[in-house]
């Protein structure tokens, strides 16, 4: 995939200075994304999923300490000027956020949001821009598009606002779409509609996608490959089939075990991951999951490298592909 990668991230680390020292949100992750491919990034809150993408998009505070490389079509997003990044952002790379209400200006009509997004990257008369914007709203599943164009964000439902955000993101037909938990705040029915819409528009335009989520059900429906993150690191990566049928890392297994099934005994509580989430201020060099891992042993005090356990499948665990050691 290397020669054809649309995005190639190498050794990305992100830290924030705090009163307790550096908060290490992302710790040296690397991955690639091919044209037309959808990559799911899964993990609990605080695992570094969103921060890694915000770093690539130049959306973190100036105090953030960012290291590594993020090549988009051969150009490093992490070192380019703000002007160059703003040219790429919205035109070649677009992002959909978790809360559309906080991403839309309450003082602007939907029309203004869409038209300004379009005119920021193209020299186009306003009348033509409004026509394209209205057509994109319809493509995003908004039937009364002409009416919605005249409305303000607070007049729309959560599902409608998220459709507007999708329309804005796809106006310029970006090569890469980053979706940061865009269905979390929506009810199940609307969530299903949004996922169907994203899949349809992705397939229609051949857009590559990074889908950030904590929901394995979404991964199963939408993604080609998946990375599981914990403590700012990638602990497992595989195809969607492999992650569901042959999970290797204890954290991945624990996440999958916590998913309710229709045939489960309802009187038995779902298994939970014991212990406390990893402290991002920690300077510990070992496996970040070892304090909560039922298979941990002495060697877990060192950070394990990613070990290949199949074609395109790897896990950062000393026991990857092995049996757990017997207790002494």
pLDDT at 65 over 60: yes
For residue 254, the Cα-to-chain-centroid distance in whole angstroms is 20
65: nearest Cα among 25, 29, 7, 95 = 25
Distance, in Å, from the CA atom of 232 to the CA atom of 238, rounded to the nearest integer, reads 18
Mean pLDDT of the region 158-187: 87
Which fold is adopted by the domain 2-92+172-315? Rossmann fold (3.40.50)
Mean pLDDT of the region 232-236: 97
Which 3 state secondary structure label does DSSP give 197?
helix
Q: How many percent of the chain have pLDDT more than 70?
A: 97
**pLDDT at 282 (0 to 100):** 92
Question: Among the listed ranges 128-137, 244-253, 317-326, which one has the minimum average pLDDT value?
Answer: 317-326
Distance, in Å, from the CA atom of 124 to the CA atom of 324, rounded to the nearest integer, reads 63
**Two structure tokens written together for 268:** 């038995």
User: What's the sign of the alpha-carbon dihedral 45, 50, 51, 52?
Assistant: positive
Give me the chain's average pLDDT, please: 90
**Two structure tokens written together for 105:** 């200006």
**Two structure tokens written together for 224:** 């080609």
Mean pLDDT of the region 236-247: 96
Distance, in Å, from the CA atom of 281 to the CA atom of 325, rounded to the nearest integer, reads 30
Distance, in Å, from the CA atom of 12 to the CA atom of 15, rounded to the nearest integer, reads 10
**Comparing 138 with 99, which gets the higher pLDDT?**
138
> Strand order in 75-76's β-sheet?
21-33, 7-18, 65-72, 75-76
Mean pLDDT of the region 306-314: 95
Quick: pLDDT tens for 244-254. 999 999 999 99
**pLDDT at 103 (0 to 100):** 83
Residues 6+ apart with CB under 8 A from 87: 121
Describe the crossing of helices 158-170 and 126-139 by its angle, rounded to 10 degrees: 120
Question: Among the listed ranges 128-132, 199-203, 233-237, 258-262, which one has the minimum average pLDDT value?
Answer: 258-262
Contact (Cβ atoms closer than 8 angstroms) between residue 208 and residue 35: yes
């Amino acid at each position: 995939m290397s020669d054809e990668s649309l995005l190639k991230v190498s050794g990305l680390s992100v830290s924030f200075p705090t009163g307790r020292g550096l908060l290490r949100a992302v710790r040296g992750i690397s991955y690639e994304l091919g044209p037309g491919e959808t990559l799911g990034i899964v993990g609990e809150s605080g695992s570094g999923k969103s921060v890694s993408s915000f770093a690539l998009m130049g959306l973190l505070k100036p105090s953030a300490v960012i290291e590594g490389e993020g090549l988009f079509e051969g150009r490093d997003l992490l070192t380019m000027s703000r002007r160059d990044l703003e040219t790429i952002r919205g035109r070649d790379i677009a992002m959909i956020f978790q809360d559309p209400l906080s991403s839309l200006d309450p003082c602007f009509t939907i029309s203004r949001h869409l038209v300004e997004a379009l005119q920021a990257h193209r020299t186009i008369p306003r009348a033509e821009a409004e026509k394209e914007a209205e057509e994109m709203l319809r493509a995003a599943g908004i039937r009364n598009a002409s009416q919605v164009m005249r409305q303000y964000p607070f007049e729309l439902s959560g599902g409608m606002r998220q459709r507007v955000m999708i329309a804005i993101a796809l106006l310029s037909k970006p090569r890469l779409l980053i979706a940061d938990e865009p269905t979390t705040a929506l009810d199940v029915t609307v969530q299903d509609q949004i996922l169907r819409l994203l899949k349809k528009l992705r397939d229609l335009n051949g857009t590559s996608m990074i889908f950030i989520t904590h929901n394995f059900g979404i991964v199963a429906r939408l993604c080609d490959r998946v990375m599981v993150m914990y403590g700012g690191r990638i602990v497992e990566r595989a195809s969607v089939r492999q992650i569901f049928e042959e999970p290797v890392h204890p954290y991945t297994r624990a996440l999958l075990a916590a998913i309710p099934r229709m045939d489960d005994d309802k009187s038995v509580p779902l298994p939970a991951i014991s212990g406390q989430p990893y402290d991002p201020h920690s300077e510990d060099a070992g496996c970040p999951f070892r304090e909560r891992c039922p298979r941990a042993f002495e060697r877990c005090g060192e950070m394990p490298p990613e070990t290949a356990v199949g074609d395109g499948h790897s896990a950062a665990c000393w026991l990857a592909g092995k049996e757990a050691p017997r207790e002494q």
